[in-house]
Amino acid sequence: MSDAAAGYLTDVDYIPGFYPHMSPVAMRYAASLNRVVPPATSKSFRYLELGCGLGRSLTTLAAANPQGEFVGVDINSNHIAAVEKDVAAGELKNVQAIASDFASLSKDLGKFDFLTLHGVFSWVAPEVRDQILAVAKEHLAPGGLLLVSYNAMPGWAHLQPIRGILRQYAALRQGDTVQRIRDALNYLVFIRDKKARYFEDNPRAAAYVDGLLKQDLRYLAHEYLNEHWTSFYFSEVAGMFGSAGMAFVGSLPIHTNFWDLCVRPEFQELFRTTSNRLVTESHKDFCANTAFRWDIYANEPRVMQSPEERLKQIDDLYFRAARPNITLPHQVNLGVVTSTIQGPLYETLLKILSAKSLRLSEILKDKSVKGNPAADLIRAVDAGVAMGLFDVTAGPVTSTKTTTAGKVEIPSAFNRAVLAGDSLGGRPVALASVSTGTGHTLGDFDAAILHELTSGGTDGLPQRVDARLAGSGRSLQQDGKPVTDAAARQKLVESACDAFTTTSLPQLTQLGIVASAT
Ligand SMILES: C[S@@+](CC[C@H](N)C(=O)[O-])C[C@H]1O[C@@H](n2cnc3c(N)ncnc32)[C@H](O)[C@@H]1O
């Protein structure tokens, strides 16, 4: 292990994953909700990801934002080689992947409008966190936004010993890192099943082990075997970024910016009487037992002076119904709080945003909402986004009814390469949409259907998908069990192909991910 890695694993490669919170559109909207002017993105912008791993967030966002320049940094040269392979296969011209530790980055990299790090801050040594803060200080442009995710307290309090058990047992074992985490996991299950007192006293930790059994061993090695793994209180992280001159300006997912969607009503008085955001964030984590946070910090944030300014600053964003055929009342469980959206204003907004994606200024001008004060309308749109009724996108999304009868193709070389490589890979597949400025995730089986559809058309589609499935070693599940009978499997494949072509395909066409073949 190199000294620069400072206790971080470099002998096991990580797993690919796409995280939509890392998109400029999500960060911009979250900042704007908190009255902070976000960087403009319509013409050009610069984006730096620290610890990009296999780079699926970086490359998918680069494919979805061709006007942006994306730079990924990782100490693991295998990871950087994988990013470069995806960049070449996807014909991306706006990505640079740098094999380096954070301390050795050149000042010549310049300033960035967005700086992100996911799955890094809680897992690296204290001196590496200092290096990250130094990189942020040097490279985040004034007004730029930084996204940092980390394991949070108090949600990790009862789970911390899981990491301790895995790491301590793995250290006693022989073999490579993957073998040692496998052994450690078996030991964990053994003491859980034999009702070791820790698990008896912490029943939620006992249930947590079941989730670990479904995870890739490479993920578990990176999550639990790093020497300096730790979980932070919000105030500790805010203190660190504060000392680097950065201010907390919001969080993701969007509902976490609304404390009434995060804590039960009996705590809400506490929030109404506290105006200091740094204090309310801590209250929120205690009331909601937060275990993971995605926080946004800004360098020299510029605070919006009026609601009109917000309207101006984010009027390049579009809003639309999150899915077709949503009906009200719409109930959503956000972890601690279950909320319901209903009422005539939401009915009207849902109707207009189901027909077409619109900017905030266009929503305010729509005849059907005439008479409603602008502030009420904007609040309803924001709350609708927080509760998953509406989506925010970087550009307009067509809502014309699309025909799926003809031959279809995937216009983006990046998406074609992802589909060719990752279909039936056992993990979700993210495809880039230039219309939304972000990635959209499909199950790996749906990805295989799409791949077959675009490579060979509709003739014999279920048979081709079934043949591919049969040869892949990947099984379909029904009622939580693998389907082994060939006839039952064929029937499932047929109905999955039908469901895909009637439901997912029109949506992917609207996003510009699929187009009619020319
Ligand atoms: C858990 S992975 C997260 C990868 C990616 N962000 C994702 O979410 O898929 C953490 C990454 O940080 C990288 N890393 C750790 N310490 C580093 C350092 N000092 N300098 C550069 N990269 C580092 C690791 O190699 C690893 O790829």
Q: What is the DSSP string of 189-210?
A: HHHHHTT-HHHHH-HHHHHHHH
- Provide the whole-model pTM: 0.96
The minimum-distance atom of ligand 1 relative to the CA of 15 is 9
Q: Which of 242, 264, 299 is the last residue of a domain?
A: 299
Give residue 199's pLDDT.
97
102 pocket-lining for ligand 1 (C-beta < 6 Å): yes
118 pocket-lining for ligand 1 (C-beta < 6 Å): yes
Residue 210, domain member (yes or no): yes
- Residue 263 CA to ligand 1 center (angstroms) comes to 32
Nearest protein Cα to ligand 1, atom 4:
53
- Residue 375 CA to ligand 1 center (angstroms) comes to 42
112 pocket-lining for ligand 1 (C-beta < 6 Å): no
The residue-averaged pLDDT of 351-367 equals 97
- Domain range for 437 is 408-516
Whether 222 has a pLDDT exceeding 50, the answer reads: yes
Q: Which helix (H) or strand (E) holds 236?
A: helix 234-243
Q: Which helix (H) or strand (E) holds 432?
A: strand 429-433
466 pocket-lining for ligand 1 (C-beta < 6 Å): no
Give residue 476's pLDDT.
86
Residue 401, domain member (yes or no): no
* Claim to verify: residue 187 and residue 266 sit in the same structural domain: no
* Claim to verify: residue 383 and residue 251 sit in the same structural domain: no
* Claim to verify: residue 475 and residue 510 sit in the same structural domain: yes
Give residue 46's pLDDT.
98
CATH number at residue 63: 3.40.50.150
Give residue 22's pLDDT.
98
Give how many domains the chain has, as a whole number: 4
Nearest protein Cα to ligand 1, atom 3:
119
* Claim to verify: residue 131 and residue 170 sit in the same structural domain: no
Give residue 472's pLDDT.
87
* Claim to verify: residue 447 and residue 509 sit in the same structural domain: yes
75 pocket-lining for ligand 1 (C-beta < 6 Å): yes
Q: Is the dihedral of CA 17, 503, 356, 351 positive or negative?
A: negative
The minimum-distance atom of ligand 1 relative to the CA of 16 is 9
Q: Which of 183, 201, 224 is the last residue of a domain?
A: 224
Note the pLDDT tens digit of each residue in 3-40: 888 888 988 999 999 999 999 999 999 999 999 999 99
* Claim to verify: residue 42 and residue 121 sit in the same structural domain: yes
The residue-averaged pLDDT of 177-185 equals 96
Give residue 477's pLDDT.
84
* Claim to verify: residue 418 and residue 436 sit in the same structural domain: yes
- Residue 102 CA to ligand 1 center (angstroms) comes to 10
Work out the mean pLDDT of the chain and round it to a whole number: 94
Residue 307, domain member (yes or no): no
Nearest protein Cα to ligand 1, atom 24:
51
* Confidence label for 404 from pLDDT (cuts 50, 70 and 90): low
Residue 61, domain member (yes or no): yes
46 pocket-lining for ligand 1 (C-beta < 6 Å): no
Tokens of 427: 């993990």
The minimum-distance atom of ligand 1 relative to the CA of 117 is 6
Amino acid at 403: T
Cα separation, 423 vs 445, whole angstroms: 6
Residue 246, domain member (yes or no): yes
Note the pLDDT tens digit of each residue in 228-243: 999 999 999 999 999 9
21 pocket-lining for ligand 1 (C-beta < 6 Å): no
Cα separation, 260 vs 268, whole angstroms: 7
Give residue 398's pLDDT.
85
- Residue 227 CA to ligand 1 center (angstroms) comes to 14
- Helices then strands, counting H and E runs in the chain, come out as 21, 17
* Confidence label for 272 from pLDDT (cuts 50, 70 and 90): confident
Burial letters for 36-49: b for 16+ Cβ neighbours within 10 Å, e otherwise?
bbbbebeeebbbbb
The residue-averaged pLDDT of 154-176 equals 95
Residue 509, domain member (yes or no): yes
222 pocket-lining for ligand 1 (C-beta < 6 Å): yes
* Claim to verify: residue 184 and residue 147 sit in the same structural domain: no
Residue 306, domain member (yes or no): no
* Claim to verify: residue 263 and residue 290 sit in the same structural domain: yes
Residue 400, domain member (yes or no): no
Mutate to test the pocket of ligand 1, among 1, 11, 14, 83 (most ligand atoms within 8 A of CB): 14
Q: Which of 365, 393, 421 is the last residue of a domain?
A: 393
Whether 1 has a pLDDT exceeding 50, the answer reads: no
Q: For residue 130, with 0-12 CB atoms within 10 Å meaning exposed, 13-18 middle and 19 or more buried, which class applies? A: middle
* Claim to verify: residue 147 and residue 181 sit in the same structural domain: no
* Claim to verify: residue 69 and residue 208 sit in the same structural domain: no
Cα separation, 278 vs 238, whole angstroms: 8
* Claim to verify: residue 83 and residue 167 sit in the same structural domain: no
Note the pLDDT tens digit of each residue in 322-342: 999 899 999 999 988 999 999
* Confidence label for 405 from pLDDT (cuts 50, 70 and 90): low
